[in-house]
A and B are shown apart, each in its own frame.
Chain A
Amino acid sequence: MSEIIQPDSAQALAQALAEANAAQRLVAPRGGGTKSDWGNPGARADIVLSTAGLNRIIEHAWADMTVTVEAGCTIAHLQKTLAQHGQRLAIDPLWPENATIGGILATNDSGALRIRFGSLRDLIIGMTIALPDGTIAMSGGKVVKNVAGYDLPKLMTGALGTLGVITQAIFRLHPLPLTAKTLSANLPTLEAAQALMLAIQDSQLAHSALQLRVATMAVDILFEGTEAGVASQQAFCSTLANFQESSPEVWKAREQLWPAEGADIIKFSVLPSEIAQAVSRPKAHDCVVQATGIGHAKLKGADLAALRRQVESGGGSFVILTPSALDAWGSPGDTLTLMRAVKQQFDPNQILNRGRYVGGI
């Protein structure tokens, strides 16, 4: 059994890390535990370092549209607090009730809103991390526009906790939409669905989300804004396809791929113009693809290695999110040496999530 440590301050967390580092004990940082099986299994951790004790919202500077929040705070709790001032963190990650800020950052989990608001890397403006040697370091800041120093918040986002433990993050916020409307259209073929998504992307619509649910060959689009703006865009959409008003529930389609129940769940990324081709190969019925080219699919008995080769040969990526005999990440391109050098600088003893990341990091 791993020892569980739950510090209640960044200082205590850094201290625990430093002690583990000195003793060469392996550490697995943990937030809500919703994605703790992502990545490779790696070496078994001696210590689970929980951020559950760091769950405060430090400051919602609503007039400046920023929030400073500790890593252990759940997304749902944060959104509820921000909504009191009509604002939100414009992101729709998996399992918001349990997923924490630190967890979504470490796994770089973003959903359908990305097409309008960008992913976490575009919303985070500051971060505090604790390093294995006990250093507590801050980078970025509380202002949206800031180019002083290196952009470590981006480096840490998606690093799966292998460089340091995120203790606090600062985000830029967006206003809650005045109105929102979801429309859906059923298309006869994959090719038609892709053509529709590309046409919408090439139009002057200002949608907040656009996805394809392959099982029902439905294209979903989300409009947010003024009544007048949403109505006019809805009217234009009807000229492109038979769009009908539908339920916001469709945006949970990605989350509904889970539980895996013995199947493989993968995240793939391809060019938007190659979505139909990518999805047709595995006959992935249980598949949701954003117009950005990022998709999630649930596959039973598929030849994942072959699929990965095909996607990677076209410049895409193919990450296996459920436990697998294959490497979870796939090709690291030509940067593995550089990534290892970065890891060496931040965590020379490799105590953080050892072996779980890209290329064995």
Chain B
Amino acid sequence: MSPTLLAEFRAVVGEQGLIWSPEELKTYECDGLTNFRVMPLAVLLPTTTAQVQGVVRLCHRERIPFVARGSGTGLSGGALPVEGGVVISLARMKRILEVDLPNARMVVEPGVINLEVTGRVAASNYFYAPDPSSQSVCSIGGNVAENSGGAHCLKYGFTTTHVIGLEVVLPDGAVVNLGGNTLDAPGYDLAGVFVGAEGTLGITTKVILRIVKRPELIQTLLAAFNTANEAGSAVSGIIAAGIVPAAIEMMDNLAIQAAEAAVHAGYPNCGGLLLVELDGPIAEVEALMVQVDKICREHGASEIRVAQSEAERMVVWKGRKAAFAAMGRISPNYIVQDGVIPRTALPEVLDEIDRMSAETGLRVANVFHAGDGNLHPLVLYDRRIAGQEHAAEKFAEDILQLCIDKGGSITGEHGVGEEKKHMMPKMFAEPDLQTMQRVRCAFDPLHLSNPTKVFPRPRMCGDTPGEYHAHPLETSGVAERF
């Protein structure tokens, strides 16, 4: 980057807000997906919307691509820098601007950490529902970009359900407000398409969130089964009974072992562990818990216990949320996948993963959001053994193909990012992908905002739709064209 341009960026964000020495830039060369690395030209750390706007305007003028970054915990390379581009970190925009309990809303800056949102209103018995496993470190801006989920979205919905409005800096530097403070703002649901667009439509600088009243009672049941398939059939039984739990999580034996080694959650050693959480009015939860217990026993549960205190419940969840990181205890390296299948396909998919595991000789630990069919298979390998990394990558991709074949998706909550963009044409036809990118052309015709992600082939936005002929109604002044 030229010294003049660097000076211009410095003028916007100040000396403290500019990183350009190679040693310091190293921190930003990847996100939570560490096998892709790109060095950015510079990292900008704005503290206000005006500074974000200033940076984006410079990028737009100079045609420099930019990538927004929150806490950098993403698992699909969404915050991976792009060649010849800068990173705009929102980590210093971390103020909670407003708490409005009567209307169950909060206004926050993008760098606010997910768990801090709940932290601010917990004393009033409110919480922020989306709870990705990384919630103690991940940022709301990142959650918005990825439409993050978590264990409790089965009942409460995803980030998009909880975002009412957004202040956004568009790729040309314009600041706009999508959605609003009240529901159903007239016009296209631009906030709806922005959330989950993985930073390809602009940068979030302010978020209006919906918060939720804490239920009267939360109960968590652990049920041990001989096999993951038995646990899976119990899940189907619960759903078929018309029960919508707050969360249903499943872990197989390898995942249980890893979680136990890491956090000693006291999980029973079994082939398939189910964690079912119900919440709501006391009488409702107690009645349904009896039913869940019965269904689990009918499907062969050998051991059932209900967490007896809030502390015990927290330990149960800690084990589940630590499951990914815990793999380090049982394997030098692992790949996390994020496929989704219709829940009823679970038995055949598990069998098929087992078969592939035997074939490749690579172990797979399975952690699922079982209620909504979101699989997190962890393919274990050892990088030091020649060829294993490649084999593991191939295996992980075969699992995603299996999800697509069963009518599912390549990602339930981690995003497409850099990692899975080449899988998009296997899930969608070319017209589908081209149509999505029409939105991108409307927001970012120059392809500056996180340009190389999500789509394998960018759509040319300059395509002219053909010569325009005025409609007779226009020439007669009845209708107007803008």
The interface of chain A, by Cβ under 8 A from chain B, is 24, 26, 42-44, 61, 63-66, 86, 108, 118-119, 121-122, 129, 131, 133, 135-139, 141-152, 154-155, 157-159, 163, 174-176, 178, 198, 201-206, 225-229, 231-233, 267, 269-273, 292-294, 315-317, 319, 329-342, 344-346, 348-350, 354-355, 357-361
Contacts and interface: CB of A to CB of B under 8 A. Distances in A.
Given A135-B431, A333-B187, 18 more contacts: A63-B344, A118-B157, A142-B342, A145-B149, A145-B373, A146-B408, A149-B454, A150-B193, A155-B192, A175-B244, A203-B213, A225-B280, A293-B103, A316-B182, A335-B177, A335-B187, A339-B190, A358-B186
Nearest to B440: A150
Contacts of A174: 244
B337 interface: no
Interface string B248-287: 0000000000000000000000000000000011111111
Nearest to B338: A147
B118 interface: no
Contact of A151 (B160, B185, B372): B160
A104 B283 CA distance: 36
A61 B186 contact: no
Nearest to A332: B187
B213 A202 contact: yes
Interface string B132-158: 000000000000001101000110011
B384 interface: no
A32 B428 CA distance: 31
B411 A146 contact: yes
Interface stretch (B108-116, B221-229, B315-323, B412-420): B412-420
19 contacts: A122-B161, A139-B432, A141-B409, A142-B407, A143-B341, A143-B372, A145-B149, A146-B409, A147-B415, A150-B436, A151-B147, A151-B192, A152-B436, A154-B160, A158-B188, A158-B189, A271-B100, A293-B182, A294-B183
B195 A151 contact: yes
Interface stretch (B46-54, B234-242, B296-304, B358-366): B234-242
B236 A63 contact: yes
Nearest to A319: B186
Which 8 pairs, one residue from A and one from B, show the smallest C-beta to C-beta distance? Answer: A229-B284, A154-B192, A175-B242, A137-B435, A43-B479, A232-B283, A345-B438, A341-B442
Contacts of A44: 473, 478
Nearest to B201: A150
B192 A121 contact: yes
A228 B412 contact: no
Nearest to A311: B182
Contacts of A292: 183
A338 B443 contact: yes
B88 interface: no
Given A155-B192, A335-B177, A355-B479, A148 B424 contact: yes
B284 A148 contact: no
Nearest to B195: A151
Indicate the size class of the contact surface on chain B: 35 or more
A135 B478 CA distance: 29
A235 B68 CA distance: 51
B344 to A, nearest CB: 5
Interface of B: 100-104, 125, 146-147, 149, 153-154, 157-158, 160-161, 170, 174-178, 180-190, 192-193, 195-197, 213-216, 236, 239-240, 242-244, 280-288, 340-344, 369, 372-374, 407-416, 420, 424, 427-429, 431-436, 438-443, 454, 465-466, 468-469, 471, 473, 478-482
Contacts of B431: 135-137
A269 B183 CA distance: 6
Contact of A355 (B161, B288, B454, B480): B480
Contact of A148 (B175, B286, B409): B409
A233 B468 CA distance: 62
Given A342-B188, A360-B482, A206 B441 contact: no
Nearest to B198: A147
Contacts of A339: 187-188, 190
B331 to A, nearest CB: 26
B462 to A, nearest CB: 12
A155 B193 contact: yes
Contact of B373 (A43, A144, A163, A331): A144
B153 A145 contact: yes
Nearest to B472: A24
A65 B239 contact: yes
Given A149-B424, A150-B197, A229-B287, A358 B435 contact: no
Nearest to B186: A329
A339 B285 CA distance: 45
A358 B427 CA distance: 34
B176 A338 contact: yes
A154 B369 CA distance: 24
A294 B184 contact: yes
A347 to B, nearest CB: 9
B411 A349 contact: no
A350 B161 CA distance: 31
Contacts of A316: 182
Contacts of A139: 428, 432, 435-436
A225 B284 contact: yes
A270 B184 CA distance: 10
B424 A64 contact: no
Q: Which of B175, B214, B372 is packed against the most chain A CB atoms within 10 Å?
A: B372
Given A145-B413, A175-B244, A201-B104, A64 B196 contact: no
